[in-house]
Amino acid sequence: MTKAELLAAYRTMFLTRVFEEEILAMTAVGLVPGYVHPCTGHEAVAAGVLAGRMPEEWVVSYYRCHGHALACGSDPLAVMREVLTRRGGLCGGKGGSMHLADRANRFLGASSIVAAQLPIAAGVALNEQRAGDGRAVVVFCGDGALGAGVAYETLTTARHLGLPLLVVCEDNGWQDHTPSHEVSSLPPAGLVAGLGIGHREVDGNDVTATARAAAELLADCRAGAGPRVLVAHTYLRHFHAQSGADAPAEYRPAAEVDHWRRRDPLDVAANELIALGVDPEPVRAEVAEEVSRVVAAALATPEPEPSSATTSVAVAGWVGPF
Ligand SMILES: Cc1ncc(C[n+]2csc(CCOP(=O)(O)OP(=O)(O)O)c2C)c(N)n1
Ligand SMILES: [Mg+2]
């Protein structure tokens, strides 16, 4: 990445961090409906991978999706309004935290069903392959998602058809409150290797390394080499999810939490910028001010009109009225 690209990626990461911390603060006082799955700690994965996405390439996500939408270029105010289920949200305020979608920025959507986004992304990749425009599709998932049966079907079908699909596995070592090693006999890279799919493992807290690896894999996908998997090792700074006032108690070993806190992706990127002679502080100040404006504007926005309940929503094969 050039200095300018690294600074842009750092801005996205810092925006995501401040945005998520504001959402957690609002969750704690009952302002956020439903569950919130914060992506704090994972910021370098979205920022690094999507730094190399062509703007016309589709991105598909899962419930830990706020950072993916922001890294796709979604308007932070529209994202915040959606998380708070207010008018003018990305999906009209009817999807909430786990169901962001933004067609204009080619962010196809997020799913609360573990691994459900994978076959959807493969379908989009099949469409792109048929269009023949050399475009890839990026899909994000957790490490637990690769253990789902549908992930196996998606990966083997994508390999068989040579689909231009980049699967980005955010390997945080946990699946909700369960350590992954207790429920998976193979780590993600071993699983993917067994399927004969080209992959890379990367330090997902290092945005530069992540961007470099993702760019290489995306180039393979666009060139018709078939699907690729990027396993990005990272860690959640907070916890799996929160609903309502009580934040979950820490369920992970203290030494593990400390280990990853000392490798915070924002510190890694800031130190790299400083080493290149770039001061990250002006970006931090500008983003902090933007997010406080966004929070105030979103909180001042009313919920959707009850009469709009059947617009901006769809049921399989039947789009309102219901
Ligand atoms: C099909 C399905 N099964 C179970 C769940 C409950 N669930 C929600 S998140 C989660 C853990 C997923 O772990 P991972 O894929 O590693 O993602 P992470 O939450 O760590 O980012 C589970 C089991 C679900 N949402 N969908
Ligand atoms: Mg996980």
82 is a domain residue: yes
Q: Where residue 253 sits, what CATH number does that domain have?
A: 3.40.50.970
Residues 6+ apart with CB under 8 A from 232: 44, 45, 48, 49, 168, 169, 170, 171, 202, 203, 204, 210
Which tokens sit at 28?
A: 């704690």
320 is a domain residue: no
- Cis ω before 119 (30° cut-off from 0): no
Q: Rounded to two decimals, what is the model's pTM? A: 0.96
pLDDT in tens, the chain (322 residues): 999 999 999 999 999 999 999 999 999 999 999 999 999 999 999 999 999 999 999 999 999 999 999 999 999 999 999 999 999 999 999 999 999 999 999 999 999 999 999 999 999 999 999 999 999 999 999 999 999 999 999 999 999 999 999 999 999 999 999 999 999 989 999 999 999 999 999 999 999 999 999 999 999 999 999 999 999 999 999 999 999 998 999 999 999 999 999 999 999 999 999 999 999 999 999 999 999 999 999 999 999 999 988 877 765 555 444 3
Mutate to test the pocket of ligand 1, among 36, 37, 66, 114 (most ligand atoms within 8 A of CB): 114
| Ligand nearest, relative to CA of residue 42 | 1
322 is a domain residue: no
- Side-chain-facing half-sphere of 75: CA atoms under 13 Å: 14
319 is a domain residue: no
Q: How far apart are CA 271 and CA 274, in angstroms?
A: 5
317 is a domain residue: no
Structural domain range at position 277? 3-306
C-alpha 120 to ligand 1 mean position (Å)? 17
| Ligand nearest, relative to CA of residue 140 | 1
Q: Coil, strand or helix: which one is 125?
A: helix
Q: Please, are residues 83 and 24 in contact by the beta-carbon 8 Å criterion?
A: no
Output the CA torsion sign for 201, 205, 209, 214.
positive
Mutate to test the pocket of ligand 1, among 42, 176, 186 (most ligand atoms within 8 A of CB): 176
**Distances, alpha carbon 28 to alpha carbons 80, 85, 171, 246, in Å:** 16, 16, 27, 6
Q: Please, are residues 100 and 79 in contact by the beta-carbon 8 Å criterion?
A: yes
Residue 175 CB–ligand 1 contact under 6 Å: yes
158 is a domain residue: yes
103 is a domain residue: yes
Q: How many domains does one find in the chain?
A: 1
286 is a domain residue: yes
Q: Coil, strand or helix: which one is 52?
A: coil
